Amino acid sequence: MAERVIVITGASSGIGAALARRLGRQGEALVLAARRKPELDAVAADSGNRTVVVPADVTVRADVERIRDAALEAYGQVDVWVNNAGRGIAKKVADLTDGDLDAMMAVNVKSALYGIQAILPHFQARGRGHIVNVSSFLGRVPFVPIRSAYSAAKAALNALSANLRMELRSSAPGVQVSVVMPGVVSTDFAQNAMGGSVPPATSGPGQGAASVQSAEEVASIIARLIDQPVPEVYTNPAHPSIARDYYQDVGAFEARLPRRPGD
């Protein structure tokens, strides 16, 4: 397979860093973006010889456009754009402030929209390309109610992605749009969430839903998705059946969900 140029946002830690290291070992050309340059530099050092680092705040449209410009300047093209940056929150719906909701939408939805709008004209001109939006299982099933606004933002990201696929299927069928929905991943995501971490569920429907995956496991699934694009992928094999169960009878499913401290 010929070398591809792959942009990854949120690449300084967690899933983004693991994906960068994996793709770098495969010989891909990378553009890594995040706010923290020292951490980005450390990831880049472990991600092969063809890696460009772009310190950027993806909640700022001009910064996202600068990532695109740096990629095109360095490599002349982009083949895959991974919108991975995100942040969580631990707060009940009744307690959310305007600032809480705005922050969740900015980092989990608008940053991806900026990435989509920045790279889409390039993909359309080439007649091919792949946009990968990293969402969450919580965007489909309310397994952790206190993640409220985070879950709502990821649900919005899912909807934007699906509608973009519908828009492109006639005008640019060579442009792929994929959504990745991880569950619980052993990264510092929970510690960095607004309001702190939340305790895991210990019972309820779909016992496999709360099983923990490593960032490397999720990165492996995303790498496979890049090789073989599909519209959506759950990284936890238990999640597709749980999601089907939820939508078949929402009321019954929710009645079986355990109560958590703080809910």
Residue 150 lies in a domain: yes
Residue 55 has pLDDT above 60, yes or no: yes
- Kindly report, residue by residue over 176-204, the tens digit of the pLDDT: 999 999 998 876 655 555 555 555 444 45
Tokens of 212: 């923990």
Give the catalytic positions in this structure: 150
Tell me, what's the pLDDT at 154?
A: 97
Q: Give the total number of structural domains in the chain.
A: 1
Residue 263 lies in a domain: no
CA dist 104 and 164 (Å) reads 21
Residue 212 lies in a domain: yes
CATH code assigned at 234: 3.40.50.720
- Kindly report, residue by residue over 217-247, the tens digit of the pLDDT: 999 999 999 999 999 999 999 999 999 999 9
| Percent of the chain residues topping a pLDDT of 90 | 83
Residue 56 structural domain: 5-256
Tell me, what's the pLDDT at 241?
A: 95
Q: Which residue has the higher pLDDT, 49 or 128?
A: 128
Residue 132 lies in a domain: yes
